Amino acid sequence: MSTGSDDFPFSVAQQKALIGAGLHASLLAQFLFGIYTGVLGGPLHKGNRSASKDRIVIGSITALYAVTLLNILISWIYTSVLLCTTGGTLVEVFIASVIEDYMPTSVHVLLDVVEFLGYVIADGLLVWRCFQVYGRDLSSNWLPIGLLVLEISLCITSSVYTCVIRLQPNPPTPHISKINDDINAVANASVGVTSVVATFMICRKVYMHTESGSRSRKRYQNVLNALIQSSAVYSVTMLCMAIFGFLDTGFIESSLTVVEISEYLGCFSILVGGLAPTLMIGRLSISPREDTEMSSARLPSDLMPCASQLAGSMKVNISQGDVDKHESGSPGVEHAHIMEVDRIQSNA
């Protein structure tokens, strides 16, 4: 390809914009990862004193951190390779960033696998929470579980297709690139939808078994707020990734702006996939003790990692059911809530 200004279809400003987007996204990832590392301390500190059954939550957020660390490390190393080792002119660096030939095929596939693995772990943890809230009833959880299976299948398909086109001796054609972008977009959409559905089902379960303004509703509110807020950021990010994936035509000339925005979204999605659930657990772990007790007293113990520490407090709350009945003004409803949670906890 000629690098003359008359033959090359991109201006210097466009070249700098695309290269800068990759660099700035990498720097943003480093900044967010520092925040992520600081947030991780709270849940892990609480987890050291939690029961063995809460190791699923602690193990999941630890695995998410490890996956994110590997992704950030690979991205940072090869950003340095792109800018400092590949070629010597702006045009050469621009072309390398577009076709991504500065990264070995094995590393590129590993990066895709690690990225999707983080999404699967994050959604798996959320679906597992939903499963616990519904008393481990498969018939009530067929939708989020089915969406999780679909998500895993799409992530595997995307990784395999990426591996196949990367093994080809020539760069992919725009048509093949468009197919790859669409598969990735569908996979990202499935991640967002799984998160939305699982969160909705958890909230629906709580709202169905509590009355507006009741003590039970207030006791749930702290957990629900943390769950909804973290899930909203994660889901919106993944759905935006899917939208921009579909907007990518496969032709860099017509999709340059889309590619630049996708650089930032891709960086943010990798971090938010691990940061959102960790931040939710961290927020609960540093909540005032009374607030946390009220939020967890009538939830299944597996819903949050520090709940096992409050088992004794839960027994006290349940044994004082007559006091709650009197204060709520609705004895039958409050008694039904307590019996329902007793049933779920016995099944757990």
Question: What are 194's two structure tokens?
Answer: 């799984």
> 66-75, 93-102, 151-160, 249-258: lowest mean pLDDT where?
93-102
pLDDT in the model for residue 45: 63
Helix-helix angle 321-328:311-319, to 10 degrees: 60
Contact 231, 197 (CB under 8 A): no
Q: Is the pLDDT of residue 201 over 50?
A: yes
Q: What's the average model confidence in pLDDT over 294-318?
A: 40
Q: Is the pLDDT of residue 256 over 80?
A: yes
Tens digits of residue pLDDT in 50-85:
454 577 888 888 899 999 999 999 988 888 888 877
pLDDT in the model for residue 213: 73
Q: Is the pLDDT of residue 44 over 70?
A: no
Burial class from Cβ neighbours inside 10 Å (0-12, 13-18, 19+) for residue 142 reads exposed
Considering the chain, what percentage of its residues have pLDDT values greater than 90?
24
The more confident residue out of 160 and 319 is 160
1.20.1070, 1.20.272, 1.10.3470, 3.30.70: which CATH number matches 12-302+322-347? 1.20.1070
- Between the alpha carbon of residue 27 and those of residues 40, 72, 80, 81, 266, the distances in Å are 20, 10, 11, 15, 13
The more confident residue out of 81 and 27 is 27
Question: What are 139's two structure tokens?
Answer: 């018939």
Model's pTM, two decimal places? 0.76
Q: What's the average model confidence in pLDDT over 122-135?
A: 89
pLDDT in the model for residue 170: 81
Distance of CA 144 to the CA centre of its chain: 15
The more confident residue out of 325 and 173 is 173
Considering the chain, what percentage of its residues have pLDDT values greater than 70?
75
pLDDT in the model for residue 342: 41
Distance CA 238, CA 69 (A): 19
Tens digits of residue pLDDT in 81-119:
888 776 578 888 888 888 777 788 888 888 888 999 999
* Residue listed under structure tokens 């930032």: 264
pLDDT in the model for residue 305: 39
Q: Which residues contact 51 (CB under 8 A, 6 or more apart)?
A: 301, 308
